[in-house]
């Protein structure tokens, strides 16, 4: 997972979040095999402060998709998010 800190000088940090969850070996599978193994249409991504679980950065759904590499899995891309209780 790549989390890039962006400081806007407002005193509150803003983050961009990019997350790809790839089905192992999916590039080598047929579309029928991929579909059979990727049985979940959406996953929930929850990123919280490790010291304070009520301080949430991301609470979002990521849909199943095919990536440009030919792999399948789940992808999430969020810009300008902040921790909030």
The tens place of each residue's pLDDT in the chain, 85 residues long, gives: 566 665 545 678 999 999 999 999 999 999 999 999 999 999 999 999 999 999 999 999 999 999 999 999 999 999 999 999 8
Position 12 scores a pLDDT of: 83
HSE-up of 52 (CA within 13 Å, CB side)? Answer: 7
How much is the pLDDT for 6? 59
What is the strand order of the sheet 2-6 is part of?
A: 2-6, 14-22, 72-81, 56-66, 42-48
pTM: 0.77
The predicted structure's pLDDT at residue 2 = 61
Q: Which residues contact 6 (CB under 8 A, 6 or more apart)?
A: 13, 14, 15, 16, 80
Q: Could you state, in order of their start, the residue ranges of all structural domains in the chain?
A: 2-81
| C-alpha torsion 28→31→32→33, nearest 10 | 30
């Amino acid at each position: 997972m790549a989390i890039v800190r962006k400081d806007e000088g407002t005193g509150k940090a803003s983050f961009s979040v990019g997350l790809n969850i790839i089905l192992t070996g999916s590039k080598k599978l047929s579309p029928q095999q991929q579909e059979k193994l990727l049985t979940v249409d959406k996953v929930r991504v929850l990123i919280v402060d490790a010291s304070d679980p009520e301080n949430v950065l991301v609470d979002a759904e990521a849909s199943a998709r095919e990536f440009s590499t030919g792999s399948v899995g789940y992808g999430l891309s969020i810009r300008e998010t902040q921790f909030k209780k």
